[in-house]
Amino acid sequence: MPFFKKNKEENGSISKRKWQITKRCLRLILESAKSTHPKEFGGLLRVDETTKKTIIEVVLLPGTISGNSHAIFQLHMMPIDFSVVGTVHSHPSGMPLPSEADLELFRKHGRVHIIVATPYTKTSWRAYDYNGSAIEMSVI
């Protein structure tokens, strides 16, 4: 059973949701990825409950395993929290493109996902939907 529920809009058609992320949250993600390098960083994305479209926080799961080419989430440690909408992780390789393992995670757990890559700057990250299709995300 998926931990993140997809709404009707996403189950039947392409989502029209316009995702946003706060500058503060993006800065935290980029700095966390830098500090974990050369290992992967991983976390969950939490939205503002009032807008349901603005990512405001990163949730770190206890027991997440970081390696040079993987970040393994201990999803059984996830709190019951309906504001969690997806995942974020880094690619120390420099390519912010989803791997097959990433696509499997995306399809099962969440609506929006972010991959940040070296050099971990404002331009070295990409957002994806649950199918692994690139989506636009504005920084506010």
Q: What is the pLDDT of residues 40-51, one digit of tens each?
A: 998 999 999 999
Encode burial over 86-114: b for 16+ CB neighbours within 10 A, e otherwise: bbbbbbbeeebebeeebeebbeebbbbbb
pLDDT at 133 over 90: yes
Strands 84-91 and 112-117: parallel
Give the pLDDT score at 60.
Answer: 83
Residue 84 within any structural domain of the chain = yes
Summarised one tens digit per residue, pLDDT across range 76-89 is 667 788 999 999 99
Residue 5 within any structural domain of the chain = no
Average confidence (pLDDT) over 68-73: 65
CATH of the domain at 101: 3.40.140.10
Q: What is the domain count for the chain?
A: 1
What is the pTM assigned to this prediction?
A: 0.83
Residue 117 within any structural domain of the chain = yes
| Bridge partner list, 116 | 90, 125
pLDDT at 94 over 70: yes
The single residue of 40, 57, 104, 136 carrying the catalytic annotation is 40
pLDDT at 138 over 90: yes
Residue 9 within any structural domain of the chain = no
Residue 41 within any structural domain of the chain = yes
Q: Domain limits at 104?
A: 17-139
Strands 19-21 and 137-139: parallel
Mean pLDDT in the chain? 85
pLDDT at 63 over 60: no
Average confidence (pLDDT) over 14-27: 86
pLDDT at 72 over 50: yes
Average confidence (pLDDT) over 104-113: 92
Question: What CA–CA distance (Å, rounded) separates 72 from 56?
Answer: 22
Residue 115 within any structural domain of the chain = yes
Asked if 40 is an active-site residue, the reply is yes
pLDDT at 55 over 90: yes
